[in-house]
Amino acid sequence: MSIKSWLAGYALLAAMAGFGALFLLGWSDLSLRCERASGTVDCLIKERLGLGLWTRELEVRDVRAAKLATSGGRGSGLSRAVVSRPVLVSADGKRHAILMGASNVDRKAKKEMLRSVKSFLGDQSRASFELSVRLRNVFGYFGLLMLAFTGFCLWKMAASAIQPPPPANSPSA
């Protein structure tokens, strides 16, 4: 096998691994804790993405609202994709994403999350609020499958590289 074939094979596997790792963002564990003190609500967002490979922690002060923010994706003509993510809106008008993995899946979980936060913001008698959400969607499973396939291919390539060559046949007399 030529060196060009090896390089092309490893480049393809590296691209597959990178592409698969991005899909692991389809798995997210979220912890949202909000505290009411002196008339303001402060929230702490902790999110683990991709089987815990990426973590994010964000403190949002003086939360005023919870909304579903939508943004137009890239596309041409009528095929423009719109994605949505739940956000907390602070007193200065800034939007802080509750979930970083913005997609159009898990809509029911996003709406339930927003409903719970809005309920807490509207109920002045509650001092604290805590929410834990575990999201698993098809993108995460697809990414895991791609990474497993990439690992299998790398294992096969490594096994064939270290395998001793077959013994040469001795000429018969």
66 in a domain, yes or no? yes
pTM over 0.85: no
According to DSSP, the residues that pair with 95 across neighbouring strands are: 89
pLDDT tens digits along 70-106: 876 655 666 666 677 889 999 999 999 887 765 666 7
DSSP β-bridge partners for residue 133: 30
Q: Is there a domain that residue 165 lies in?
A: no
Which residues make beta-bridge pairs with 111?
none
**Can you point out the beta strands (E) in 27-73?**
27-37, 40-49, 54-60, 63-72
- 173 or 26, which is more confident: 26
Provide the domain limits for residue 27: 3-74+81-158
* Length reported for the chain: 173
172 domain residue, yes or no: no
| CA-to-CA dists, residue 7 to 125, 153, 157, angstroms | 64, 14, 12
The one-letter code for the residue type at 120 is F
Residue 132 has pLDDT above 90, yes or no: yes
Domain annotation covers residue 170: no
Q: Is the distance from CB of 85 to CB of 68 less than 8 angstroms?
A: yes
In a domain, 109, yes or no: yes
Give the alpha-carbon dihedral of 36, 40, 41, 43, to 10 degrees: -110
Query: In total, how many domains does the chain have?
Result: 1
In a domain, 163, yes or no: no
